[in-house]
Amino acid sequence: MAGAYDDRDGKIWMDGQLVDWRAANVHVLTHGLHYASSVFEGERAYNGKIFLSRKHSERLHFSAGELDFEIPYSVDEIEKAKAEVLAANGFTDAYVRAVAWRGAGEDMGVAAKKNPVRLAIAAWEWGSYYGDAKMKGAKLDISKWKRPSPETIPVHAKAAGLYMICTTSKHAAEAKGCSDALFMDYRGYVAEATGANIFFVKDGEVHTPLPDCFLNGLTRQTVIGMLEERGVKVHERHIMPEELEGFEQCWLTGTAAEVTPVGQIGDYHFEVGALTRDIAQSYEDLVRA
């Protein structure tokens, strides 16, 4: 299946029922469109099974709570709906997107307590997020934007509004021939890429930014567990930008990114080394087990 995302064959689960793909529409005065009152999950199914599916559904509920709304479907109901979407479209390997938002209703201002909360789940076939960069190493720009303070926005929610600077940063990176961009946080520490967490290797040990102002990704948590099982020391800490020069290897993690090696960030270069290749392959084996 290919083409524009609003013009495809298939089914999307929307507010409790499967609808034709092209009929999965919302009104232009939907609150989430105007005020970013929307949360979502990105998930991958391998061999017919969504990896960490329930954890994604639980996080969707958590994110909604952070934005002061409640999803009118339980985790069990969301799990059932995701399975229905995969079956209806005949997918075994697919990307799954669940999104919940404040819809159109009696309110059309900042406050929207009277508006219904809606939920949709779609799935499509999607290959490597970074294309051939997954094999030879992605090239990253350094974004001019910074990840905000936890005092300014619900940084641990997977919320649509948090991705505004991700879109602009990725556009700027692609214009320079890069695959993605790296953010620093509001204090100047290394944070994450536009849709993925980041890891570094030095002297056989792994260093990764402390997720105290950005999403602690489920893939990130999985990879840390894999490293610890191998006896690899993992340092979750604040990392200064000047430390990039001393790291030997680097990779990104995320549901879409999976485990993607990084070959360059700005003027800094990294090898696609043995540990990076091992973790990437081991993650692939795990999700398809």
pLDDT digits (tens, 9 = 90+) for 84-105: 999 999 999 999 999 999 999 9
CA angle 176, 178, 184 (to 5 degrees): 100
Q: Would you state the pLDDT for residue 40? A: 98
Q: Which residues pair with 49 in a beta bridge?
A: 46
Q: Is the pLDDT confidence value at 1 over 60?
A: no
Long-range contacts of 165-172 (CB under 8 A, 24+ apart): 166/194, 166/195, 167/194, 169/141, 169/143, 169/144, 169/145, 169/194, 170/194, 170/195, 172/141, 172/143, 172/144
User: Which entry of 158, 176, 202, 233 is annotated as an active-site residue?
Assistant: 158
Q: Is the pLDDT confidence value at 131 over 90?
A: no
Domain range summary for the chain, segments of one domain joined by +: 11-124, 133-287
pLDDT category at 3 given cuts 50, 70, 90 is confident
Distances (CA, A) of 78 to 19, 67, 83, 126, 145: 16, 19, 9, 21, 34
Distances (CA, A) of 82 to 18, 26, 71, 96, 220: 11, 20, 15, 8, 23
pLDDT category at 259 given cuts 50, 70, 90 is very high
Q: Would you state the pLDDT for residue 128? A: 82
- CATH number for the domain formed by residue range(s) 11-124: 3.30.470.10
CA angle 87, 118, 6 (to 5 degrees): 60
User: Helix or strand or coil: residue 238?
Assistant: coil
Mean pLDDT of 55-65: 98
3-state secondary structure 141-167: EEEEEEECCCCCCCCCCCEHHHHHHHH
Active site residue 158: yes
The predicted-structure confidence for 7-37, as pLDDT tens digits, reads as follows: 999 999 999 999 999 999 999 999 999 999 9
Q: Would you state the pLDDT for residue 135? A: 72
Among 133, 165, 132, 173, which Cα is nearest to 148's? 165
User: Helix or strand or coil: residue 252?
Assistant: strand
Does 11-124 match 133-287 in CATH topology? Answer: no
Q: Is the pLDDT confidence value at 113 over 60?
A: yes
Instruction: Give the end-to-end CA distance of the chain in Å, rounded to a whole number.
Output: 26
Q: Which CATH superfamily includes the segment(s) 133-287?
A: D-amino Acid Aminotransferase, subunit A, domain 2 (3.20.10.10)
Mean pLDDT of 60-66: 98
pLDDT category at 232 given cuts 50, 70, 90 is very high
208 with 222: CB under 8 angstroms?
A: no
The predicted-structure confidence for 280-289, as pLDDT tens digits, reads as follows: 999 999 999 9
pTM value is: 0.96
DSSP state of 214: S
Q: Would you state the pLDDT for residue 127? A: 85
* Average predicted confidence (pLDDT) for the chain: 96
Rounded Cα–Cα distance for residues 117 and 71 (Å):
6
Q: Would you state the pLDDT for residue 130? A: 85
